[in-house]
Amino acid sequence: MEQTQGLTVIGEKFPSVTVKTTHGVKKLPEDYAGKWFVLFSHPGDFTPVCTTEFVSFAKKADEFKALNTELIGLSIDQVFAHIKWTEWIREKLGTPIPFPVIADDLGRLAQALGMIHPQKGTNTVRAVFVVDDKGIIRLIMYYPQEVGRNVDEILRAVKALQVSDKNGVALPENWPNNSLIGNKVIIPPAGSEALAAERMEKAKKGEIECFDWWFCYKNL
């Protein structure tokens, strides 16, 4: 894999790469074929904010698994540092880390995915990549080093993506707890006058709900 800093975008195929992890050597995305995975980077081992994140990810790991989704951590620390840190979390905080942590000590994967901010030295930023069961990058989030992530939001986003794929719908803000339409889902906007009229007719019959022809929604 070419070692260049680039901007990875949603919809791209995750780059094929062999990595060292705390669970042995893995090839991404091939080893996760048929599964979704969440790859999240952290600035460094033995740091307070990262530790709180790892504990939260570990506690939510079963909920991700229920969505056919695996977790993978990453930083540019070496594998022995990852092992020692995860041991410390287990022993001191009572939380085993069930997912692998990539030791990207040469920074190749971090560079390829744009995880290293040029003004932050060699540490990785807090990046999140949600990759689907076909190896396609579906969501990217970046957080600064100073602000920890919300693991519940990442879990919500995975659920929303899977619901969208399965049902051909869009999901509102904070779904399934949107302040406007609750847990209902949005029907893609009409692309023609005929379809717009059809939508409004369905709304009159109570088959769907619409604020207008371009904003229709329904129960799953």
- CATH number for the domain including 181? 3.30.1020.10
Out of 20-24, 96-100, 114-118, pick the least confident: 114-118
Given 122, 149, 176, the domain boundary residue is: 149
What is the rounded distance in angstroms from the CA atom of residue 51 to the CA atom of residue 139?
Answer: 23
CA dist., res. 121 & res. 165, Å (int): 38
Is the model's pLDDT at 122 over the cut of 80?
no
Same domain, 178 and 205: yes
Residue 111 has pLDDT above 50, yes or no: yes
Model pLDDT, residue 3:
40
Looking at per-residue pLDDT, the higher value among 13 and 116 belongs to: 13
Domain shared by 81 and 173, yes or no: no
- Identify the bridge partners of residue 19 per DSSP, sorted by sequence position: 26
Domain ranges, residue 95: 17-149
Identify whether 188 is part of a domain: yes
Question: Out of 50, 97, 160, 203, which one is annotated catalytic?
Answer: 50
Residue 88 and residue 196 in one domain: no
Question: What is the distance between the alpha carbons of residues 76 and 107, in angstroms, rounded to a whole number?
Answer: 6
Q: Which SS3 state, helix, strand or coil, does residue 18 take?
A: strand
Same domain membership, residue 110 and residue 197: no
Is 7 domain-assigned? Answer: no
Q: What per-residue confidence (pLDDT) applies to 5?
A: 47
Report the number of distinct structural domains present in the chain.
2
Task: Inform me whether the pLDDT recorded for 119 exceeds 70.
Answer: no
Do both 40 and 128 map to the same domain? yes
156 domain-assigned: no
Residue 120: both structure tokens together: 């932050």
Say what the pLDDT of residue 182 is: 98
- For 51: left if phi > 0, alpha if psi spans -120 to 50, otherwise beta; the answer is alpha
Greater confidence (61 vs 75) lies with 61
Q: What does the mean pLDDT of the chain come to?
A: 93
If you ran DSSP here, which 8-state letter would residue 105 be given? T
Is 210 noted as a catalytic residue in this protein? no
Q: According to the model, what pLDDT value does residue 144 have?
A: 86
Burial of 24 (0-12, 13-18, 19+ CB in 10 A): exposed
Mean pLDDT value across residues 114-122: 68
Beta bridge partners of 89: none
User: Shortest CA distance to 139 belongs to which of 130, 148, 152?
Assistant: 130
Instruction: Give the pLDDT confidence of 129-186 residue by residue, as tens digits.
Output: 999 999 999 999 999 888 999 999 999 999 999 999 999 999 999 999 999 999 999 9
127 and 35, same structural domain?
Answer: yes
Whether 108 and 215 map to the same domain: the answer is: no
* pLDDT value at residue 1: 41
Helix (H, G, I), strand (E, B) or coil at 203: helix
Residue whose entry in the numeric block shows the structure tokens 């540019």: 76
Q: Going edge to edge, which strands form the sheet with 126-131?
A: 24-28, 17-21, 101-103, 69-75, 36-41, 126-131, 137-143
